[in-house]
Amino acid sequence: MSIVVACYDRMGLLERTLKACMAQTGMPVDATWEIVVADNHPRRLATAVVSRLQADSPVALRHIPAGERNIAHARNCGIAAARGSFIAFVDDDEAPDPDWLQAHLGCLNRTGADAGFGPKYPVFAGGSAPEWDPAGRSYTTDFHMPQDAEIHPLRWFPPQARGLGTGNSMMRRATCLAGKTPFDEEFGRCGGEDTLLLLGLAQQGRRFVWCADARVREFNEASRMTFSYMCKRMQRSSRHSAMVRMEISQHRAATRLGIYGVALAQMAVYGSLWLLRRKPADYLQICKALGKLGLGSLDFIPEPPVAPARS
């Protein structure tokens, strides 16, 4: 198995991620695994962090130069360097639970599925969720499906593709990550490259399952806890999803009309609710509708870099 971690400039969070990956337990006695850090920053900021942690890592921990500011290219470089037949992905702001890797492996072995996906639970700077979302629902990804349940991302209802991405996943290399560039690098700056890959795999008949026991804790800095940030994130994500649906569709005109129809219905329903009760959740649905209509930026949302912790 190989854990691939793509990173850019969040070195403090990367260190948290790598330490959690190094602390994995419960592995089968015949299992071997490694950690591959795909450094997407032009100044290779992760070099020092990886070098400092290598001496304490119980498994191989490797640093791979991976171009500049293109998440798809970083993931492709990580996959190319990885030695495992199973590739697990975790983002550089996520810390997996100690039994995360063996939970993913067990899930794929039990079900024979091609890829498994697990939940993400938020951790907030300052220790509590923002006032506008006290339960942290906008920051949580949990399908609330039974363990090993099959996911059907191409279905519109229920919308099982919502929140499905590469972060916190494990894939069989042979069936999911063939070729030199499994992630489309044309989407690497605007985003949506993982959704494009997954929906394309689903079209090919690959099987996806929900691994409820493979949990990660996603850290949210103060800059991510503002309502304006979440509005941009929801709008951008919705626009990505619409673009990908168009990209894989064999009937683009009908797909476009369907997406616009859903967006206008969202605008009508949640616009009315927003005027009546002013709930943030209603406004976020309006942002999703705007994204489906092709409005809003596709570029990365600016965030301050996170420096590594001092020893």
CA separation for the pair 85, 283 (Å, rounded): 43
**pLDDT of amino acid 305:** 77
DSSP 221-270: -GGGSSHHHHHHHHHHHHHHHHHHHHHH-S-HHHHHHHHHHHHHHHHHHH
User: Is the CB of residue 206 less than 8 Å from the CB of residue 177?
Assistant: no
Number of structural domains (the chain) is 2
Q: Report if residue 304 sits inside a domain.
A: no
CA separation for the pair 240, 171 (Å, rounded): 22
The residue from 181, 207, 224 where one domain ends is 224
Q: Are residues 157 and 273 in the same domain?
A: no
Q: Are residues 187 and 267 in the same domain?
A: no
Q: Are residues 90 and 10 in the same domain?
A: yes
Q: Are residues 100 and 192 in the same domain?
A: yes
**pLDDT of amino acid 155:** 79
Q: Are residues 140 and 284 in the same domain?
A: no
Q: Are residues 171 and 108 in the same domain?
A: yes
**Sequence-distant (≥ 6) Cβ neighbours of residue 253 within 8 angstroms:** none
What is the radius of gyration, based on Cα positions, of the chain? 19
User: Please, what sign has the CA dihedral across residues 93, 135, 116, 250?
Assistant: negative
Q: Are residues 248 and 218 in the same domain?
A: no
pTM of the model: 0.92
Q: Are residues 67 and 104 in the same domain?
A: yes
Q: Are residues 239 and 168 in the same domain?
A: no
Q: Are residues 26 and 125 in the same domain?
A: yes
**pLDDT of amino acid 311:** 43
User: Is the CB of residue 9 less than 8 Å from the CB of residue 71?
Assistant: no
Q: Are residues 130 and 250 in the same domain?
A: no
CA separation for the pair 296, 233 (Å, rounded): 10
**CATH number for 118:** 3.90.550.10
CA separation for the pair 2, 86 (Å, rounded): 6
The residue from 224, 259, 275 where one domain ends is 224
User: Is the CB of residue 121 less than 8 Å from the CB of residue 214?
Assistant: no
Q: Are residues 71 and 104 in the same domain?
A: yes
What domain range includes position 259? 227-292
For the chain, helix (H) and strand (E) counts, in that order, are: 9, 11
**pLDDT one digit per residue (tens) for the chain, 311 residues:** 999 999 999 999 999 999 999 999 998 888 899 999 999 999 999 999 999 999 999 999 999 999 888 999 999 999 999 999 999 999 999 999 999 999 999 999 999 999 999 999 999 999 999 999 999 999 999 999 999 999 998 876 665 656 788 999 999 999 999 989 999 998 877 678 898 999 999 999 999 999 999 999 999 999 999 999 999 999 998 998 888 888 888 898 999 999 999 999 999 999 999 999 999 999 999 999 999 999 987 777 877 777 775 54
What b/e sequence results for 110-149 when a residue is b if at least 16 CB atoms lie within 10 Å of its CB, and e otherwise?
ebebbbbbbbbebbbeeeebbeebeebebbebebebeebb
**pLDDT of amino acid 247:** 87
**Sequence-distant (≥ 6) Cβ neighbours of residue 137 within 8 angstroms:** 281
**pLDDT of amino acid 49:** 97
DSSP 46-94: HHHHHHHHHTT-SSEEEEEE--SS-HHHHHHHHHHH---SEEEE--TTE
CA separation for the pair 188, 142 (Å, rounded): 25
